[in-house]
Structure 1
Amino acid sequence: MTAAIYGCRSGKKVLIIERSVFGGQIISTPEIENYPGLISPKGHTFAADLFRQIESLDVEKASDEILSAAYEDELFTVCGKISVYTGRSLIIAVGTKNRKLGLPGEESFTGRGISYCATCDGAFYKARDVAVAGGGSTALEEALYLSLLCRKVYLIHRRNSFSGEAALVKRVGSTSNIVALLDTEIRDLRGKDRLDSIEISSGHIAGEGSIRILRIQGLFIAIGQIPQNTPFAHLADMDSCGYIIAGESCMTKTPGVFAAGDCRTKELRQLVTAAADGASAAANAVKFLEK
């Protein structure tokens, strides 16, 4: 949406295509605590304000899932499930999707005890015992949010220390109903119609492996993200993890194609860097169009 704002304010005709909800993953963030100038707004509030901003401009919007993209006769053609779109420049800002544990039963238990969004589903587990899988900032934020609703929150991480922001690690450590289980992996998901317990294995880094069953009513998975760049493989080079190779200019190998936000190669994937990418990509797209 930042790219759309900058493109429109530069006098260009802009179409923004969104697969699900305008705002992306930020909608599910309980609070934004590290965006300069904003004091802990809710993620959905921030996204709504941003959407109102693009609605005040002459930005065209479409809801569609992109399947492929190509370049021919000085036009980029983007094919979606619903329609086909064309333009003289293309900004790819598709973000990432949740990484899964890859365990048997994960798909069938999703929505039946397994979730990837605490703010979306946390209220269903009020006064119950839940677990969060992950050790980064997102997992820590999920655990802190759930601690306000749930009786007990097990925070399970396969490493022997958390990798999230130090401020979040400190808050987790001082929250009485969060139980940190480090050097621990989830081995099995159990239940009939719903998830009712998980099998965990602990102590392998320390050389003291042990297995036990943890009875919980909900499991929130926050073990990272994976890119969704496959439709653009012909237009942009990608690294071994599938991220589009692009620098601070957001330019890709194809003139007129730019990659912004979490979908590109970068050291820090945060809201503030995604917004900066949107501005940079739009500014460079405008320069390309005006050559």
Structure 2
Amino acid sequence: MVETDFDLAVIGAGCAGLAAGVYGGRAGMKVCIFDKGKAGGQLLITHKIENYIGYAEISGPDLAAKMLEHAQKYSQVKEFTEVEQVRDEGDHILIRTTEGEYTAAALLLSTGADHKHLGVPGEEELAGKGVSYCATCDGFFFRNRKVIVVGGGSTAAIESLYLKGIDVDVNIVHRRDRLRAESALIEDINKTDMPIHFNKRVIGIQGEKRVEKVILECTDSGDRTEMDTDGVFIAIGLQPNDMLAKQLGLEMTEDGLVKVDPVFRTSNPRVFASGDLIGGVRQAITAAAEGTIASLNVLPLVGKQYPW
């Protein structure tokens, strides 16, 4: 067995990566977690969490801080260290980062996802000038002003409720005829006076120096209307960060996700994947479970026994 810097290298310090650090470290492995930014992943921009077992209510940043503190007891966490390249060297994995090269016996990809964009005229030009993908980050600037939240899933519902709670005038625009969010979130929205514009899609965002209005198109008739607004919050889902997975030539599903077996091993026996890269139930608690299972199944690769 070749000597490596780490038994397990984890790329991405979100829920899955931090859980892998705890369980892998406690099982006797030398684990290092790399993240190009601050540890916490999507938790950092989640205002309130009410469905993580053990916490009836906690903010995303607070939960992230607790996870990071826990993980640091058992593993190294290198924040603000971007992984630029990974390469399979046969008997180990080479990880090239912005601060140097490392080797590991196994790799867990927990690189998460970025917000999807609408891809309409004006979106890129007005990003940061009224176009946002994070209500927690930017909502404060729109107090007592009108915004549109684009989307109909749970993310859009959470963003809308958060904005409404800080005195933002919210209109929801959704291309389908009903919301697809969790029923509890839909009930909360129905208790408010937020207008919901069903069967409408945003086809353009306009403004001189800042967002001033959007162009809406009816999905049934094709009719177009304009709606004045001070901001547009886009909440239409996530795009997996799969660059490193593609570098390794991992097998993908028909949906463009990394294909894994029941223990989250990919088509490369030294590489595991979890979280948004593999789809499934995109929740903090399931991501943590995936990271846990993956890390423990690295043990045979480094000559260690399962702890049960």
TM-score, scaled to structure 1: 0.93
2:290 maps to amino acid = D
In 1, distance between residues paired with 2:273 and 2:169?
41
1:161-180 counterparts in 2 under 5 A? 161-176=178-193, 178-180=194-196
1:20 shift after superposition: 1.4
In 1, distance between residues paired with 2:236 and 2:170?
16
CA shift digits 1:61-112 (9 cap, x unpaired): 2422223211114110122344322111100101111100001221221111
Cα distance change of structure 1 residues 265 and 213 upon mapping to structure 2, 3 Å threshold? closer
Aligned to 1:182: 198
Q: Does the CA contact (< 8 Å) of 1:17 and 1:61 recur in 2? A: yes
Q: Does the CA contact (< 8 Å) of 1:155 and 1:181 recur in 2? A: yes
Q: Does the CA contact (< 8 Å) of 1:229 and 1:242 recur in 2? A: no
1:15-94 counterparts in 2 under 5 A? 15-94=32-111
Q: Which of residues 276, 281, 284 in structure 2 aligns to 1:271?
A: 284
Q: Which of residues 233, 245, 260 in structure 2 aligns to 1:220?
A: 233
CA shift digits 1:98-151 (9 cap, x unpaired): 100001221221111011100111001011001101111000000000001234
Aligned to 1:192: 208
1:88-127 counterparts in 2 under 5 A? 88-127=105-144
1:254 shift after superposition: 0.8
In 1, distance between residues paired with 2:30 and 2:101?
17
Runs (4+) of structure 1 exceeding 4 A deviation are: none
Q: Does the CA contact (< 8 Å) of 1:68 and 1:232 recur in 2? A: no
In 2, distance between residues paired with 1:11 and 1:246?
24
Cα distance change of structure 1 residues 17 and 58 upon mapping to structure 2, 3 Å threshold? closer
5+ residue gaps in structure 1? none
1:173 shift after superposition: 1.2
1:186 maps to amino acid = V
1:4 shift after superposition: 0.8
Q: Does the CA contact (< 8 Å) of 2:22 and 2:75 recur in 1? A: no
In 2, distance between residues paired with 1:105 and 1:81?
33
Aligned to 1:247: 261
Q: Does the CA contact (< 8 Å) of 1:248 and 1:277 recur in 2? A: no
In 1, distance between residues paired with 2:187 and 2:223?
27
Aligned to 2:14: none
Cα distance change of structure 1 residues 4 and 151 upon mapping to structure 2, 3 Å threshold? closer
5+ residue gaps in structure 2? 1-17
1:240 shift after superposition: 3.5
3-state secondary structure, aligned to 1:195: coil
1:252 shift after superposition: 0.6
2:65 maps to amino acid = A
TM-score, scaled to structure 2: 0.89
Identity %: 33
In 2, distance between residues paired with 1:285 and 1:65?
23
Q: Does the CA contact (< 8 Å) of 2:21 and 2:74 recur in 1? A: no
Find out whether 1:2 has 2:16 as its counterpart.
Answer: no
Find out whether 1:285 has 2:285 as its counterpart.
Answer: no
1:212 shift after superposition: 1.6
2:87 maps to amino acid = A
Q: Does the CA contact (< 8 Å) of 1:64 and 1:83 recur in 2? A: no
How many residues are paired up? 286
Q: Does the CA contact (< 8 Å) of 1:247 and 1:265 recur in 2? A: no
- Structural RMSD (CA): 1.5
